Amino acid sequence: MLQVDMPAAVRTVFGKGENRRLRMAGKTPAVLYAGGKDALALQFDATTLYKTLFWIHGRNAVVTLEIEGDDKDKRHVLVQEIQKDPVSDRVVHVDFLEIELDRPIAFKVPLNYVGVAKGVDLGGDLLVYKNSVMLKGCPLDIPDAIEVDVTPLDRGDTGITCGDIEIPENVEMLDDKDKVCVTVS
């Protein structure tokens, strides 16, 4: 899984007006939720935050926050929600969820189909039923994406099911193993 480091600072001002002033000063407000504990208000440099979020867009990534003014050295988090301005497309607020690297979590992992199926060469159509699968495991064990080779697929085959997909040993497939992901008609 992708890992990214990002600097942050504890935010001491709250409210609509104060957050607007923060944004005008080139900062972006954020909140860190820590499962049952009090939420921690944060602020980020807007440019750094935007570049980092753009880089990890659509991918599972563990973000390591180095928070200035916090009692913990580093916190491992996932991006939970990104709020954008509908007109300017600027990031106006981000929610983070703190995780523990040794505790299993469910992730949606994209499937990348590679190769050209034999059946497609013979005039068939590749039918994709699933673009992602749900996996459960420790965050650092979850792959960024799973490559599925469709080369052996022929017309009339049963296709590739979730059970046929190779995943790391210490990761569990949450989807039904008999569910068809891709086939050739």
CATH number where 15 lies: 2.40.240.10
- pLDDT computed for residue 69 by the predictor: 74
Q: Say if residue 13 is in the same domain as residue 44.
A: yes
Domain count along the chain: 2
Q: Say if residue 16 is in the same domain as residue 86.
A: yes
Contact status, residue 140 vs residue 148, Cβ threshold 8 Å: no
Q: Say if residue 140 is in the same domain as residue 94.
A: no
- pLDDT computed for residue 167 by the predictor: 92
Q: Say if residue 58 is in the same domain as residue 88.
A: yes
- pLDDT computed for residue 31 by the predictor: 92
Convert 107-144 to b/e letters by CB count within 10 Å (16 or more is b): bebebebeeebbbbeeebebeeebeebebebbbebbbe
User: Consecutive 10-residue runs of the chain (185 residues): their mean pLDDT?
Assistant: 84 83 87 86 87 76 84 84 88 89 92 91 91 93 91 89 92 94 93
Q: Say if residue 81 is in the same domain as residue 113.
A: no
Q: Give every CB contact of residue 14 below 8 A, 6+ residues apart in sequence.
A: 41
DSSP-assigned beta bridge partners for residue 137: 105
- pLDDT computed for residue 74 by the predictor: 86
The pTM of the full predicted model, rounded to 2 decimals, is 0.76
Query: What is the domain extent for residue 176?
Result: 105-184
Answer with the one of 51, 80, 98 that is the final residue of a domain. Answer: 98
Q: Say if residue 61 is in the same domain as residue 147.
A: no
Answer with the one of 74, 98, 122 that is the final residue of a domain. Answer: 98
- Return the CATH number at 125: 2.170.120.20
Q: Say if residue 121 is in the same domain as residue 169.
A: yes
Answer with the one of 75, 98, 121 that is the final residue of a domain. Answer: 98
Q: How far apart are CA 40 and CA 45, in angstroms?
A: 17
- pLDDT computed for residue 58 by the predictor: 67
Q: Say if residue 9 is in the same domain as residue 51.
A: yes
- pLDDT computed for residue 53 by the predictor: 78
Q: Say if residue 13 is in the same domain as residue 89.
A: yes
